């Protein structure tokens, strides 16, 4: 098959400043990342429900049909298993599909391609057939969508080796991480949040790539290490601001990727604070938070002054009612209480 190679991404290049006045929405940052990569690489295409004529159910792909045409921005039938499976074939033949799940909740009907083909194809072909597909879409509760449409898939899918899982918490990271995901030679699950698509922040116009497996220190402090990823990072920052009033200062680590997991940054912070709270919007049982706590106990037990605390959702199906959904999710108050608990 015809070769089309791009130079390897140079991650040694310093990232542009996060400060600035180019305020754009999270959804625009995602669009910018996809569009920049599609202009560079004719192998990249976007497929999913409503991505073309309707500009995406959440308007992430606004204007992309007009720029790239119907052969690269493709409205699919309502057939998640179908387009996820097709993406496997297209990637095996050298294309770089971006597959949009309107919600990651709908990816459950595509379990065979995304869990049984994509992560294993390279392995089962003795290193020959990679599947560089980016699957992206909305993940997590908070929009009062009811239990079946509010899945947090990271806890479920992170168990499977062979994929990379990316979960940004802000527009700046969304752009840099999605660009890295599209350039990556492995399959990537990219988890967005419908609740954050309208969030605005400075996003540099220039191109930049954020390496996977490198947490960001979102706030510095000495008393406790707060570890989170995705939307709850923002709740951690709210809690940290409130705790500051009581002269409690915390490190907030935004993991940015779950696989690979930057456990070293967590351990570095722990050496300073000796206390740990992990905030995770998935159910508590066998969650990412559980994994973080386990690895910390295995590798940093002596640095813990108090037992680590997890803040997950309640261990029940996601409630539909607004008040109940809020009560079920991690929030600022639960996080602040958890930090106080570690401090005794």
Question: Which residues are catalytically annotated?
Answer: 80, 149
* Residue 233 beta carbon to another protein: minimum distance, rounded to whole angstroms: 22
Q: Token digits for 212?
A: 């996977």
- 166 near 259, Cβ under 8 Å? no
| Span from 26-34, 54-62, 115-123, 332-340 in contact with another protein (CB under 8 A) | 115-123
Report how far residue 87's alpha carbon sits from residue 135's, in angstroms, rounded to the nearest whole number.
Answer: 9
Q: With binding defined as CB under 8 A, does residue 7 bind another protein?
A: no
Q: With binding defined as CB under 8 A, does residue 271 bind another protein?
A: yes
Find the binder of another protein among 3, 5, 53, 77 (CB under 8 A): 77
| Span from 57-65, 179-187, 201-209, 237-245 in contact with another protein (CB under 8 A) | 179-187
Report how far residue 344's alpha carbon sits from residue 334's, in angstroms, rounded to the nearest whole number.
Answer: 15
* Residue 101 beta carbon to another protein: minimum distance, rounded to whole angstroms: 15
Which CB atom, from 44 or from 145, has the smaller least distance to another protein? 44
Which CB atom, from 107 or from 281, has the smaller least distance to another protein? 107
Which CB atom, from 140 or from 300, has the smaller least distance to another protein? 300
Q: With binding defined as CB under 8 A, does residue 222 bind another protein?
A: no
Q: With binding defined as CB under 8 A, does residue 48 bind another protein?
A: no
Find the binder of another protein among 127, 206, 285, 344 (CB under 8 A): 127
| Span from 86-94, 150-158, 167-175, 226-234 in contact with another protein (CB under 8 A) | 86-94
Which CB atom, from 265 or from 313, has the smaller least distance to another protein? 265
| Alpha carbon distances (Å) from 243 to 36, 40, 63, 239, 246 | 40, 46, 43, 6, 5
Report how far residue 46's alpha carbon sits from residue 33's, in angstroms, rounded to the nearest whole number.
Answer: 12
* Residue 169 beta carbon to another protein: minimum distance, rounded to whole angstroms: 22
Q: With binding defined as CB under 8 A, does residue 38 bind another protein?
A: no
* Chain centroid to CA 147: 20
Number of residues located near another protein, criterion CB under 8 A:
59
CA terminus-to-terminus distance, the chain = 63
Report how far residue 172's alpha carbon sits from residue 256's, in angstroms, rounded to the nearest whole number.
Answer: 11
| Span from 33-41, 81-89, 240-248, 330-338 in contact with another protein (CB under 8 A) | 81-89
Find the binder of another protein among 143, 162, 211, 284 (CB under 8 A): 162
Residue 82: phi and psi, rounded to 5, are -65, -55
Find the binder of another protein among 161, 245, 323, 344 (CB under 8 A): 161
Which CB atom, from 286 or from 316, has the smaller least distance to another protein? 286
**Interface positions with another protein (CB under 8 A):** 2, 45, 71-72, 76-77, 79, 81-95, 97, 112-113, 116-117, 121-130, 132, 161-162, 164, 184-186, 213, 260-261, 264, 267-268, 270-271, 295, 297-300, 302-303
């Amino acid at each position: 098959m015809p070769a089309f190679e791009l130079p390897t991404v140079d991650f040694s290049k310093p990232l542009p400043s996060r400060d600035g006045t180019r305020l754009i929405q999270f959804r625009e940052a995602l669009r910018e990342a996809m569009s920049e990569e599609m202009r560079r690489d004719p192998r990249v295409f976007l497929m999913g429900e409503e991505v073309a004529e309707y500009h995406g159910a959440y308007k992430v792909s606004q204007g992309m049909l007009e720029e790239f045409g119907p052969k690269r921005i493709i409205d699919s039938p309502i057939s998640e298993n179908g387009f996820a499976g097709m993406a496997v074939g297209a990637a095996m033949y050298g294309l770089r599909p971006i597959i949009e799940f309107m919600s990651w909740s709908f990816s459950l009907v595509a379990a065979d391609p995304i869990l049984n083909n994509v992560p294993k194809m390279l392995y089962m072909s003795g290193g020959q057939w990679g599947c560089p597909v980016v699957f992206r879409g909305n993940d997590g509760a908070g929009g009062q969508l009811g239990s079946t449409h509010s899945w947090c898939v990271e806890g479920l899918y992170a168990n499977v080796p062979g994929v990379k899982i990316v979960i940004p918490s802000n527009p700046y990271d969304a752009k840099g991480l999605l660009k890295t995901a599209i350039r990556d030679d492995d399959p990537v699950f990219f988890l967005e949040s419908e609740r954050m698509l309208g969030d605005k922040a400075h996003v540099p116009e220039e191109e930049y790539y954020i390496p996977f497996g490198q947490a960001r220190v979102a706030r510095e402090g000495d008393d406790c290490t707060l570890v989170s990823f995705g939307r709850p990072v923002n709740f951690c920052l709210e809690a940290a601001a409130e705790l500051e009033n009581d002269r409690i200062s915390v490190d907030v680590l935004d993991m940015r990727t779950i696989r690979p997991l930057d456990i070293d940054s967590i351990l570095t912070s722990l050496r300073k604070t000796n206390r740990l709270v992990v905030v995770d919007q998935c159910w508590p049982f066998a969650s990412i938070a559980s994994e973080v706590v386990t690895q910390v106990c295995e590798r940093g037990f002596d640095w813990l002054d108090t037992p680590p605390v997890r803040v997950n959702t309640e261990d029940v199906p996601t409630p539909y009612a607004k008040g109940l959904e809020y009560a079920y999710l991690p929030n600022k108050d639960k996080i602040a209480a958890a930090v106080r608990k570690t401090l005794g």
